[in-house]
């Protein structure tokens, strides 16, 4: 996996291409010496919640409920942004906006897009945590 070199301070020596290095650097600023392991703790929490939300989205594949998909998109939007999963965060914002406007014709496509981007972000987060 290609990535962008990150600043020193923990297991996240390389930022996978699916994540934004600037967003992760903002997290690192909260714990410059890495002693409190802020980045690792945030990534671990996001990994866990993202895995749960993706499992719920998988259920939506066959019989999508707009309110459920909207809730998942809304919930994931800011946390994805904070860890640098910008594509996922933007897709969540797009889906949320369309669903709030009552546009449900492309709901199955939206669910597939969120799943694809979510799994990419999850793989990137896991790669960073294993580094």
CATH number at 70 reads 1.20.120.160
Range of the domain at 85: 3-130
Q: Number of folded domains in the chain? A: 1
Does 6 score more than 60 pLDDT?
A: no
Cβ 6 vs Cβ 14: under 8 Å: yes
Write out pLDDT tens, residues 83-118: 999 999 999 999 999 999 999 999 999 999 999 999
Specify the pLDDT at position 60: 87
Cβ 76 vs Cβ 92: under 8 Å: yes
Cβ 60 vs Cβ 69: under 8 Å: yes
Q: Which residue has the higher pLDDT, 92 or 17?
A: 92
Write out pLDDT tens, residues 40-56: 999 999 999 999 999 99
């Amino acid at each position: 996996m290609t990535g962008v070199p990150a600043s020193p301070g923990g297991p996240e020596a390389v930022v996978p291409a699916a994540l934004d290095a600037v967003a992760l650097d903002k997290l690192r600023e909260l714990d410059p010496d890495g002693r409190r392991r802020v980045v690792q703790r945030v990534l671990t929490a996001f990994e866990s919640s993202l895995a749960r939300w993706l499992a719920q989205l998988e259920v939506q594949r066959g019989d999508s409920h707009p309110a459920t998909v909207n809730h998942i998109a809304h919930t994931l939007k800011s946390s994805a942004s904070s860890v640098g999963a910008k594509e996922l965060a933007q897709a969540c914002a797009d889906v949320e906006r369309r669903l709030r406007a009552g546009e449900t014709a492309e709901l199955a496509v939206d669910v597939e897009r969120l799943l694809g981007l979510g799994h990419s972000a999850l793989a990137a987060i896991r790669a960073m945590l294993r580094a």
